[in-house]
Each structure stands twice: as C-alpha cells, then as structure tokens.
Amino acid sequence: MENNSFWQSILLTFVPLFIVIDAVGNLPFVISLSEQLSHTERNRMVRSAVLTAAIVGFAFLFLGQWVLNLMGISVGSFAIGGGIILLVLAVNYMVSGHALEMIKEEMVAVVPIGTPLTAGPATIATLLLLATQFPIYFVVISFTINIALVWLIFMGSRYIVRFLGKGGIKAISKVASLLLAAIAVNMILKGLSMIGIINLPSL
C-alpha cells in the first residue's frame, strides 16, 4: 500500500512538471538555434541550457516559499496568480503555437532554452505549488527526472523531429497546452478554496 502511495505521488508530481516544461513542444526552437552549430557545439549548448533550467528550478523550489513569506503572499493567492499565468500561457500556446519570437528578442544575451523556455514562470509556479501539496523529496525526484528527460529529448532533437515530423511535434504541443489549461483552472480553483472564497467537494 505504501509502495503504491509512493509511485502515485511521483506520478502526480511528475506529470504536471512534464506538461509545463513541454520539452517536446520546445524542440522546434532547439533545432532552429542549433541548426548552424557543429555536433560538439550543439551538445555544449544543450548541456548549458539544461544546467540553467536545473539551477533556476531548484533555486525557486527551495527558496520560493521563503520569498513568499517575506513578501506576505499567501499560498492561496500565489496559487490563483500562478494558475492565471498558466492559463494565459496555455491559451497563447494553443493560439500561436509558441511564444518563440518574443523569447528570441528578449533573451539574446542568455541561454533562452534553459530559461525562460524550460524553467519559466509556468515551471516555477508548478514547483512551488507542488511543494505545498507533497513532501519536498517527491518534487525533487520528479523535477530531476524531468530535467534528465529534457536533456535526452534535446540531445536527440534531430532524430525526434525527423521521426515525428513538424506536424507531429505541433500536435503533441497542442495536446499538452490543453492539459496545461486544465491544470491552470484546477490551480485557480484550489487557490480560491484555500483563501475561503469557494468550497471544493472532496473527490
């Protein structure tokens, strides 16, 4: 029974992070940035991007709650704000495909794939909210697995795109965006429940 509970918690923390990180949906951007690079340069770029995402994610995971307390922001308020951000991002993804043009312009001097593409507002909000719902080690394990998957997917980006085709990549990204919108609505409802505005029925 305890073993089932362990794997259920891993699954419940892994899936939301996998969806918001959206490594497969970000593949076209990775391909466009590495198109003119050699094999060694492309591998170096991927390693830097993944390392950046890991540092940003873990920093907010362990220090984010302290920052919220310092600023006097309740977890419920953060859940509502984070849910709204996720919902806006999800709708934007479904309408425009991805906010790649904006990121290219604003993140010229940094590694754009690591942040904000991989460890952006959606990922940070999800990490902080999951840390309030599960023991921290479950979130650490799930985020570590996701970071490892990001590295594998980005390293094999050329092969994956060749296999799925651009249409397949776009289809997967659209489905992930729909799931992200559902998670966003759930976060908003939970936040409203935490500050006492609504009562959610127990399932």
* pLDDT tens per residue, range 31-67: 766 666 677 877 888 888 888 899 989 998 999 878 8
The tokens describing 49, both together, are 């991007």
Residue 41 near residue 107, CB atoms below 8 Å: no
What integer pLDDT is reported at residue 119 of this predicted model?
85
Domain annotation for the chain: domains and CATH numbers: 2-194 (1.20.1250)
The CA R_g of the chain, rounded to the nearest whole Å, is 17
Is the pLDDT at 23 greater than 80? The verdict is: yes
pLDDT of 107 higher than 70: no
Residue range 61-76: mean pLDDT, rounded = 81
Predicted pLDDT of residue 175: 74
Percent of the chain exceeding pLDDT 90 equals 20
Of 82 and 21, the one with more pLDDT: 21
Q: Give the tens place of pLDDT for each residue, 127-153.
A: 988 998 899 999 999 999 999 999 999
Locate 146 and state its tokens: 């996701």
pLDDT of residue 110: 44
What is residue 169's predicted lDDT score, i.e. its pLDDT? 67
> Is 58 or 114 the better-scoring residue by pLDDT?
58
Q: What is the mean pLDDT of residues 143-167?
A: 85
